[in-house]
Structure 1
């Protein structure tokens, strides 16, 4: 299903509370996100760091003035691949009541199109191993599983 009434744009500070609410609705990730107003300054500080970075962009999908999804991109250049730049897509979340409407696919296509326009060599992402539905979603969009990821939790 397509969502023609969706606008994808760069997020601004006024979107942060809505983004935090989308993240807090995630029951699987265990990231500890919350809608507690006391946490908002931390989210705003993170937004400011993202907005100040020339390599990061935070996006929202908006419908009728409401934020219904979010994702973030990072551009990274490595010496491997002769100095190629890749886009990493992170934190792809759609509000629970808006899932299954094509919004996530629109956001991923937006990111892939941006990477192509910027001459990047690849778009990559990671997904929690428990998110089997998300894995099928990414495969439908043309992504292939190619690497095994590892994390070392510091906090």
Structure 2
């Protein structure tokens, strides 16, 4: 970690390019992310949609003024569980040069604490099936693989 340590804050539009660059370095995700400036308007549009939502938040982790990691949370309320609300964690990424320094743990612990403070029933996340290291990481933090997820790509 740096001298000042990592800091979590809500993302600002000025962070979008750095966030996109983090996703562009992800070789396992397969989302087609890029740091090509021509794609920046797509990322800015997504940022604005998230920022305008009452149930979503996008965060960055900074060290010495640099964006080094990001994650997103969503709150969903469902009929099962007597209409309780849960937090979903998505898009957890740390810059490759900053991995192994406790930033991932910091992000997840932040989410769990926020969910507890907000009275959520549970915190859940999904992880790409090929991310075996991430699965072990989440299990060390107390997450259990209780469900099997399914997706269908439309684009």
Give the aligned CA root-mean-square deviation in angstroms.
Answer: 1.3
Which aligned runs of 4 or more in structure 1 are off by greater than 2 angstroms? 1-4
1:2·1:103 contact (CA, 8 Å) conserved in 2? no
| TM-score under structure 1 length normalisation | 0.98
Displacement of 1:64 after TM fit? 0.4
Cα-to-partner distance string for 1:66-86 (whole Å, 9 max, x where unaligned): 000000000000010000100
Corresponding position of 1:6: 6
Rounded to whole Å, the distance in 1 between the matches of 2:69 and 2:134 is 15
Q: Which residue of 2 aligns with 1:97?
A: 97
Q: 1:129 to 1:2 in 2, by over 3 A?
A: farther
- Which structure 1 residue ranges, 5 or more long, are not aligned? none
- Any unmatched runs of 5+ in structure 2? none
SS of 2:150's equivalent in the other structure is: coil
Aligned residues: 155
TM-score when normalising by structure 2: 0.98
The alpha carbon displacement at 1:2 in A equals 9.7
Q: Which stretch of the first structure deviates more once superposed, 38-47 or 3-12? A: 3-12
2:57 aligns to what? Answer: 57
Partner of 2:152: 152
